[in-house]
């Protein structure tokens, strides 16, 4: 059974689980600096996807200058390509679409197709963020 929990950084138990996933995916797997990975957590709304007792994915969003930025989407390696990324993305969109503000994200190049299949479109040229190539993508529905 899949369960998505919404929380803020004040929930230490859920935050610890989300940070563990992000550490494994971003810091250990992709080589992102741990300090960069943890910035702005207190400003964000967070999500944790569990399958039974196992937490398998996380994400967050925050408002920046009147727009909604989706961030830190991470699925543990052994749970990828099973639709968990889409599940957590749809839960985030359920919460942010009613805010009626522009929605965007910075997609790693390898994730662009996933976001395109889920309502996002690339804008502009590739750029580097945390040493990884990204595209700006905006939600078009």
Query: Above 90 in pLDDT, residue 37?
Result: no
Query: Above 90 in pLDDT, residue 36?
Result: no
Answer yes or no: is 31 within a domain: yes
103-108 and 132-139 strand pairing: antiparallel
pLDDT of residue 33: 87
Which DSSP category does 98 fall into? G
pLDDT of residue 61: 98
Q: What is the pLDDT of residues 42-64, one digit of tens each?
A: 999 999 999 999 999 999 999 99
pLDDT of residue 73: 97
Answer yes or no: is 114 within a domain: no
Contact assessment for residue 74 and residue 67, using Cβ atoms and an 8 Å cutoff:
no
DSSP SS3 for 71: strand
Output the pTM of the full model: 0.94
Contact assessment for residue 47 and residue 6, using Cβ atoms and an 8 Å cutoff:
yes
CATH at residue 75: 3.40.630.30
pLDDT of residue 39: 87
Q: Residue 50 belongs to what domain range?
A: 2-99
Answer yes or no: is 95 within a domain: yes
Contact assessment for residue 96 and residue 104, using Cβ atoms and an 8 Å cutoff:
no
Backbone φ and ψ of 44, nearest 5°: -100, 160
Answer yes or no: is 89 within a domain: yes
């Amino acid at each position: 059974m899949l369960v998505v929990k919404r929380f803020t950084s004040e929930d230490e138990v859920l935050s610890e689980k989300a940070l563990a996933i992000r550490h494994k995916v971003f810091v250990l797997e992709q080589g992102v600096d741990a300090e960069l990975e943890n910035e702005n957590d207190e400003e964000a709304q967070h999500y944790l996807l569990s399958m039974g007792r196992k937490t398998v994915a996380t994400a967050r969003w925050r408002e920046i200058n009147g727009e909604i930025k989706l961030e830190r989407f991470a699925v543990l390696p052994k749970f990828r390509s099973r639709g968990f990324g889409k599940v957590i993305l749809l839960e985030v969109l359920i919460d942010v679409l009613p805010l009626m503000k522009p929605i965007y994200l910075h997609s790693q190049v390898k994730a662009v197709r996933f976001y395109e299949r889920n309502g996002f479109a690339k804008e502009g040229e590739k750029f580097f963020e945390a040493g990884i190539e990204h595209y700006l993508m905006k939600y078009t529905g």
